[in-house]
Structure 1
Amino acid sequence: MNKEYIADRYKQIQDEICRALEQLDGKASFVEELWARDGGGGGRTRVIQNGDVIEKGGVNFSAVHGVLPEAIKRAFQVDDENFFATGVSIVLHPSNPFVPIIHMNIRYFELNDQIRWFGGGIDLTPHYVEKDEAVYFHRQLKGVCDRFDLSFYPEFKAFADRYFYIKHRGETRGVGGVFYDRLTPEKTALSWEGIFDFSYALGNAFVPTYAELVNRNRHRDFSEANKQWQYLRRGRYVEFNLVYDAGTKFGLETNGRIESILMSLPPHAGWAYDFKPESGSAEAETLLWLRQGVDWLAQ
């Protein structure tokens, strides 16, 4: 299994997810833009907008290579000059405030035969946290993880809790999920092929898991107040992605395509000054769940 094989399979999963999301939305279709990176490689950006469910979403594939910038070399603590990176990145912003935002990323990075790894994960960002839906989401992810290693879910769930945390707000971005980085055979009981299979299985779980949450909520009525709250929660999403997200930083520092990198941002967001929800409201209840360490499987 080499990097070309991994990239080809990731392109395949991009195709499969795009077809399934078009069917789920029922109205909008993806528009594709092929792009080349100055320095090596390129990708396929696919964006869907103004659908029946999805207000804006992207399913991006990239396979890039070239000289590693000094800042990235220092961050990775490596001396190698050349790199290869490929992956699929997804963010979906729904129009209905009761349908959650979802993100997935599966990726592979290589400097040489000795320094290479897989990373990725899926996390959910509801505008309104519904306990039963968060439990469902985490059970689906645990099911995928347990097929490969029983230690994966608790380890990767804890990593997601730490990673998807907006430090300056003191709250998590959403209800978490699973997140892993620099996964190698030395850190698991799996071979390189096994780690790739786990990565691919996580990708295959994306659409059926999200479709269940979409179909539970897509026809729910909502008010203007619900939309304004949705914009505030989207604002938190923007803050995390621009301040903390490692993928955004890597893309910017390796001269990636700006439109593809910032595809994750919503079409509309809000920042009301010092907003405090009414005590006992659904908005206030949501804020109570946005903390690290919630054991969703025990709820």
Structure 2
Amino acid sequence: MLRRYQTAICDALASVDGGSFCEDMWTRGRSGGGGCSRVLQDSTVLEKGGVNVSAVHGTLPPDAVTKMTCHGHHDLPAADGEGLQFYAAGLSMVIHPRNPMAPTVHLNYRFFQIFRRAPSERSGTNECGGEEATEGESLLWWFGGGADLSPSYVFEEDCVFFHEKLREQCDRCDPLYYARFKRWCDAYFRNHHRNEGRGIGGIFFDDLNENMTVSPEKFFAFAEDGLQTFIDA
């Protein structure tokens, strides 16, 4: 899914710009997954843009597990001397147009999962080109991400359209999400020393799993809808 939407987003941007993205495939160590970075720069419409995907896995050291527990993940068990295993995947992008009348956009959707025991064998290649790991006992998972817009010159109709699309995306998953995630975005990207927000905001969320009382497929569909919403907008 990540590579498919990476290609769809890059194709949509290239159709507007006329330029082409440079691709860099990378791996995380010998068997820690990998990713694909695509960058377009110094082109006609876009000054610079990056659309990147990754799917990586490895070991969380005991200290990292302790810090995560202190920051709200109280369901995590105490890590033994070897730590816990993790899997993380996501798509992230930042687009800077050349014309200051067009806004900068940021988007990110990600998934994180923690396992009790180390994957002991590989089970093929993941969609980002790295080695896939065999999963152990799942302890915790969550989704995070969002999208926001930072215009230099504000056009009200564009701002309204952007937020309407985000509201529609949220409403398709949960009618309470838009107001909740908009407030979260406004607070998270607040520039406190200037006492101002970053751009016109958008939505932001993290640690989204509803206490794991529902299937992760609900939030997977929400994240996928967010990627499609960007293309449609």
Decide whether the 8 Å contact of 1:98 with 1:127 is kept in 2: yes
Q: CA RMSD in A?
A: 1.8
Q: 1:193 Cα deviation (Å)?
A: 1.1
Q: 1:69 Cα deviation (Å)?
A: 4.6
Question: Structure 2: where are the runs of 5+ without partners?
Answer: 70-75, 116-137
Where does residue 105 of structure 1 map in the other structure?
108
Letter in 2 for 1:49: Q
Where does residue 13 of structure 1 map in the other structure?
5
Where does residue 19 of structure 2 map in the other structure?
28
Matches within 5 A, 1:135-154: 135-154=160-179
Distance in 2 of aligned mates of 1:178 and 1:107: 14
Distance in 2 of aligned mates of 1:71 and 1:179: 27
After superposition, the C-alpha distances for 1:55-104 in whole angstroms (9 at most, x for unaligned) are 10000000111122566434421535221100000100110001000011
Q: 1:18 Cα deviation (Å)?
A: 1.2
Letter in 1 for 2:36: R
Distance in 2 of aligned mates of 1:75 and 1:163: 20
Q: Give the 3-state SS of the residue equivalent to 1:87 in structure 2.
A: strand
Structure with more strand by fraction: 2
After superposition, the C-alpha distances for 1:240-276 in whole angstroms (9 at most, x for unaligned) are xxxxxxxxxxxxxxxxxxxxxxxxxxxxxxxxxxxxx
Matched, 1:176 2:201: yes
Where does residue 229 of structure 2 map in the other structure?
205
Matches within 5 A, 1:1-299: 9-25=1-17, 27-38=18-29, 40-69=32-61, 72-77=64-69, 78=76, 79=79, 80-112=83-115, 113-186=138-211, 191-209=215-233
Distance in 2 of aligned mates of 1:69 and 1:129: 45
Distance in 1 of aligned mates of 2:59 and 2:211: 26
Distance in 2 of aligned mates of 1:175 and 1:196: 26
Distance in 2 of aligned mates of 1:169 and 1:37: 38
Q: 1:187 Cα deviation (Å)?
A: 6.9
Q: 1:143 Cα deviation (Å)?
A: 0.7
Distance in 1 of aligned mates of 2:154 and 2:12: 25
After superposition, the C-alpha distances for 1:90-139 in whole angstroms (9 at most, x for unaligned) are 10011000100001101100002231111111100111222222111111
Q: Describe the shift of the 1:148–1:57 C-alpha distance in structure 2 as closer, same or farther (beyond 3 A).
A: same
Q: Give the 3-state SS of the residue equivalent to 1:66 in structure 2.
A: strand
Letter in 2 for 1:204: Q
After superposition, the C-alpha distances for 1:31-56 in whole angstroms (9 at most, x for unaligned) are 00011123712110000112221110
Letter in 2 for 1:18: C
Decide whether the 8 Å contact of 1:185 with 1:195 is kept in 2: no
Distance in 2 of aligned mates of 1:186 and 1:81: 20
Distance in 2 of aligned mates of 1:94 and 1:71: 41
Identity value in percent = 43
Decide whether the 8 Å contact of 1:166 with 1:172 is kept in 2: yes
Q: Give the 3-state SS of the residue equivalent to 1:193 in structure 2.
A: helix
Q: 1:160 Cα deviation (Å)?
A: 0.5
Distance in 2 of aligned mates of 1:166 and 1:187: 32
Decide whether the 8 Å contact of 1:185 with 1:191 is kept in 2: no
Structure with more helix by fraction: 1
Q: Which moved more, 1:31-40 or 1:153-162?
A: 31-40
